[in-house]
Structure 1
């Protein structure tokens, strides 16, 4: 591949030298390699969010961009290290632990290579087994982005069907009601981003200003129930009021205007948090 961009994502935070060490490894491979950070604020060990943040971002980067994603609670175990090539000719270097779930489902992956760590590992790091983000993923990603190695140099090809995937719940539409899940929290604002696509939502015959009955359950327990206005933007509701809107990924979001819906109602993400939306029989004044 030609020289590309290198983008890092992790759950490391920025309070110590871990991210800087990965940047240093990349610059040691090639000084001045274009480096960027997607985020390093993913909640620790949250593979689901790592998967979703790739989906949120990857479409806006050019082909030949290399993403290095490290949320790796199984570091040092027998989980695979892989590089995948997407249908848009981007690359993701990551542990094979579910991080590729959303990209595979909603964007598409056309090739998977298992990293041969005997060839693709930072020199003199063979006795360390707790910082693969630096020693394997950053090093391999930098060499790939710099054009020092090709995808074929990574290691053996493996079937796409073998990669680890997290369970995804499908949206259900029936009896003028739509049910989905909360995929992720839009931090730091605390908005809820659902898996309900705008075109699915519009099957309820919606217009800006319409009122909807919204309920949220976590593991079957009701945590929120209320009437919510569908608006074009946050200004459609008063300060502290709930509203429903189309987010930047063309999915339905739920928010409190200038407040945190997630913190107010202690909402979690993933398939255990279900949202149900039904057109309200009354309008909001």
Structure 2
């Protein structure tokens, strides 16, 4: 199903012409395409974050929307170029390097195809090996979004279980200790978004207003330990105080009211960044 919606994500930034070149290729395929950006501020080579941002965003777009995600440290190597179709009916055009990990776990991948570059590659680009975002992904995605090719015409089928994915620890609870990872930042504000679903909190009898002990580890190294309250919004705490809250993906976030928690405590993201939470005595401010 083609709806002419095409959404771009990359680690290119906007300081040069790379994104504009991808736009130009897409519009050269069809002027009717509606082009949008997810983000071009993925940290360079950070496939984990590219994967998470797709998970954060795709479900809110109409079925049939095509996404291009280009975070590609292996460009020019023998890694595959693929298009996957999610169980929600979205298409992701990307290198096969782990970019679809979070979507595979959250909504599931229905089908995958390897891009046949003999057919689906920008003309006169065959001696270019370092800008597949323009020459292969934008071109293929535009043709798919415009209805010039079907999903089957992308290229040969690839078994879904052969797609490259990386390990993502599963949040859990044992004897009152909730464990998870710091998956991503709410970048502009420095809030931590964790892998802990709200259901784990409520199942453990943790309610709004409760006080929790929060410990954060980088691998085996403890980088933070303190107590904070669990609130519905930032207004539930004083300016500068830490708090736990439910973010827009209905997972547990960690924030400083009107401050950056990540900057204040030098916290980063990924599978090695662990967070532990357990109920503590209620904080009373005088």
Gaps of 5+ in 2: none
- 1:86 aligned partner: 86
- 1:266 aligned partner: 266
- 1:128 aligned partner: 128
Q: Pairwise CA RMSD of aligned residues?
A: 0.8
Q: Secondary structure at the match of 1:168?
A: coil
Q: Secondary structure at the match of 2:23?
A: helix
Q: Secondary structure at the match of 1:59?
A: helix
Q: Secondary structure at the match of 1:156?
A: coil
Return the TM-score normalized by structure 2: 0.98
Q: Deviations over 1:57-102 (max 9, x none)?
A: 0110001100000000000000000001111111000000000000
The structural deviation recorded for 1:209 is 1.1
Q: Deviation above 6 Å: which 4+ runs of structure 1?
A: none
Tell whether the 8 Å contact from 2:214 to 2:275 is kept in structure 1 after alignment: yes
Q: Secondary structure at the match of 1:271?
A: coil
- 1:33 aligned partner: 33
Distance between the aligned counterparts of 1:92 and 1:227, measured in 2?
Answer: 41
- 1:64 aligned partner: 64
Distance between the aligned counterparts of 2:108 and 2:32, measured in 1?
Answer: 30
Gaps of 5+ in 1: none
Distance between the aligned counterparts of 1:252 and 1:284, measured in 2?
Answer: 22
Tell whether the 8 Å contact from 1:177 to 1:204 is kept in structure 2 after alignment: no
Q: Secondary structure at the match of 2:135?
A: helix
- 2:18 aligned partner: 18
Q: Secondary structure at the match of 2:60?
A: coil
Return the TM-score normalized by structure 1: 0.98
Q: Secondary structure at the match of 2:137?
A: helix
Distance between the aligned counterparts of 2:104 and 2:121, measured in 1?
Answer: 26
Distance between the aligned counterparts of 1:158 and 1:32, measured in 2?
Answer: 30
- 1:98 aligned partner: 98
